[in-house]
């Protein structure tokens, strides 16, 4: 008889659990319905936004009205802001190879801004460290460890920054495809330099590479600090989206940095020619030298081509705008 109250109490608890479980099932069903509704709304918003952007682009192409241009820019920023919170296409192949098909969409604006700031800080810290190690290579010229650390840091930097930029793209940053291709080539160059066995052949290129690393790091540091300060002003004034990264360049940026960029690109081209000559005219049996020479020339050529296209495109746009304003004055 003493066990009967306990059995009744257990039965009551079980009935309460079953009741709450049924409530949970109802809530879960509501959750599934809400998710389905959200996916439909996301698809609808994405389609409407893309359609509006297309119509707006056509309107701006056939209109020189300043109000249309300004209002169109604001509308585009608004649509872009909405699209940034909507899941996009599956992760790229490179990203899938690293993290799989895990969604990388950050849930809100604050998380996106924080992630972008961490990305910018990561670039700054690693470029400074690369410069320090490059200088250390000249100071401790009798040791190979500073140069080895530069190679290891380069592989780490370009590999990590590429992953971070792919995540930024999925969260609304407009990073040009060539920038990512450049990083893929840079990963290959850094890895091949790390694989190059030390010896007389390597020693002939070591000092030149350390000098190139210092020049590249200084130009990247100046470019990064200048563009980041300018980008913050543009975001604060509403001229740029908050997920824009600091590798986008205007003509005014190019004028400021043109000398440094030309030096770096010519240095890359010279590295390629030097390595090809080293491979063909000396007793240098390592295949890494040949591949490195080709990659340096490819990167230098495409960098130079991209810079020329940007200058031409921006100059053409400015001239068109000035001509339009001149006709209006008449």
- Beta carbons of 267 and 242 less than 8 angstroms apart: no
Q: Is 194 domain-assigned?
A: yes
Does pLDDT of 328 surpass 60? no
Read off the pLDDT band of 85 (50, 70, 90).
Answer: low
Mean pLDDT of the region 89-103: 70
User: 54-73: per-residue pLDDT in tens?
Assistant: 888 887 777 766 666 777 77
The number of domains in the chain is 2
Picking from 244, 288, 34, the residue whose alpha carbon sits closest to that of residue 119 is: 244
Query: Of all helices (H) and strands (E), which one includes residue 1?
Result: none
Picking from 301, 309, 307, 305, the residue whose alpha carbon sits closest to that of residue 269 is: 301
- Are 74 and 98 part of one and the same domain? no
Q: Is 75 domain-assigned?
A: yes
pLDDT (0 to 100) of residue 321: 65
Q: In terms of DSSP H, where are the helices of the chain?
A: 4-61, 66-83, 93-99, 109-139, 145-170, 177-195, 200-236, 251-281, 287-329
Q: Is 255 domain-assigned?
A: yes
Q: How far is CA 242 from the centre of its chain?
A: 14
pLDDT (0 to 100) of residue 5: 61
pLDDT (0 to 100) of residue 187: 93
- Are 58 and 154 part of one and the same domain? no
- Are 60 and 125 part of one and the same domain? no
- Are 145 and 270 part of one and the same domain? yes
**Is residue 88 left, alpha or beta, with left meaning phi > 0 and alpha meaning psi from -120 to 50?**
beta
Q: Which of 29, 58, 83 is the last residue of a domain?
A: 83
- Are 46 and 177 part of one and the same domain? no
Q: Is 62 domain-assigned?
A: yes
Does pLDDT of 211 surpass 60? yes
Q: Which of 64, 83, 102 is the last residue of a domain?
A: 83
User: 266-315: per-residue pLDDT in tens?
Assistant: 999 999 999 999 988 888 888 999 999 999 999 999 888 888 887 777 77
- Are 155 and 17 part of one and the same domain? no
- Are 145 and 289 part of one and the same domain? yes
- Are 173 and 98 part of one and the same domain? yes
pLDDT (0 to 100) of residue 88: 56
Picking from 249, 265, 133, 151, the residue whose alpha carbon sits closest to that of residue 197 is: 151
- More confident: 196 or 8: 196
pLDDT (0 to 100) of residue 249: 47
- Are 263 and 320 part of one and the same domain? yes
- Are 73 and 196 part of one and the same domain? no
Q: Is 110 domain-assigned?
A: yes
Cα(113)–Cα(125) distance, integer angstroms: 18
Q: Which of 83, 108, 134 is the last residue of a domain?
A: 83
Read off the pLDDT band of 47 (50, 70, 90).
Answer: confident
Q: Is 242 domain-assigned?
A: yes
What is the extent of the structural domain holding 60?
4-83
Q: Is 88 domain-assigned?
A: no
pLDDT (0 to 100) of residue 251: 47
Does pLDDT of 252 surpass 70? no
- More confident: 262 or 228: 262
pLDDT (0 to 100) of residue 158: 92
- Are 53 and 126 part of one and the same domain? no
- Are 137 and 185 part of one and the same domain? yes
């Amino acid at each position: 008889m003493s066990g009967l109250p306990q059995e009744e109490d257990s039965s009551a608890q079980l009935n309460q659990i079953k009741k709450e479980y049924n409530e949970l099932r109802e809530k879960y069903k509501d959750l599934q319905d809400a998710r389905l509704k959200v996916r439909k709304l996301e698809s609808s918003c994405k389609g409407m936004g893309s359609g509006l952007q297309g119509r707006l682009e056509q309107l701006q192409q056939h209109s020189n009205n300043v109000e249309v241009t300004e209002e169109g820019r604001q509308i585009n920023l608004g649509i872009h802001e909405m699209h940034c919170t909507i899941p996009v296409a599956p992760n790229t192949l490179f990203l899938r190879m690293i993290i799989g098909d895990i969604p990388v969409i950050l849930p809100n604006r604050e998380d996106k801004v924080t992630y972008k700031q961490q990305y910018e800080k990561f670039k700054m810290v690693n470029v400074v460290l690369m410069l320090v190690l490059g200088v250390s290579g000249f100071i401790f010229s009798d040791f190979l460890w500073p140069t080895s650390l530069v190679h290891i840091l380069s592989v780490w930097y370009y590999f990590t920054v590429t992953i971070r930029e792919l995540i930024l793209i999925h969260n609304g940053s407009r990073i040009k495809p060539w920038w990512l291709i450049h990083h893929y080539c840079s990963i290959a160059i850094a890895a091949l330099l790390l694989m190059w066995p030390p010896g007389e052949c390597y020693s002939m290129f070591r000092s030149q590479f350390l000098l190139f690393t210092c020049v590249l790091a200084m130009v990247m540091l100046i470019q990064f600090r200048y563009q980041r300060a300018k980008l913050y002003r543009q975001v604060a004034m509403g001229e740029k989206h908050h997920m824009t990264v600091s590798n986008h360049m205007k003509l005014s940026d190019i004028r400021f940095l043109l000398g440094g960029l030309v030096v770096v690109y010519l240095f890359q081209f010279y590295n390629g020619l030097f390595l090809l000559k080293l491979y063909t005219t000396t007793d240098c049996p390592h295949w890494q030298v040949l591949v490195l020479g080709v990659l340096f020339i490819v990167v230098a050529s495409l960098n130079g081509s991209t810079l020329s296209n940007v200058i031409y495109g921006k100059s053409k746009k400015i001239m068109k705008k000035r001509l339009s304003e001149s006709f209006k004055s008449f």
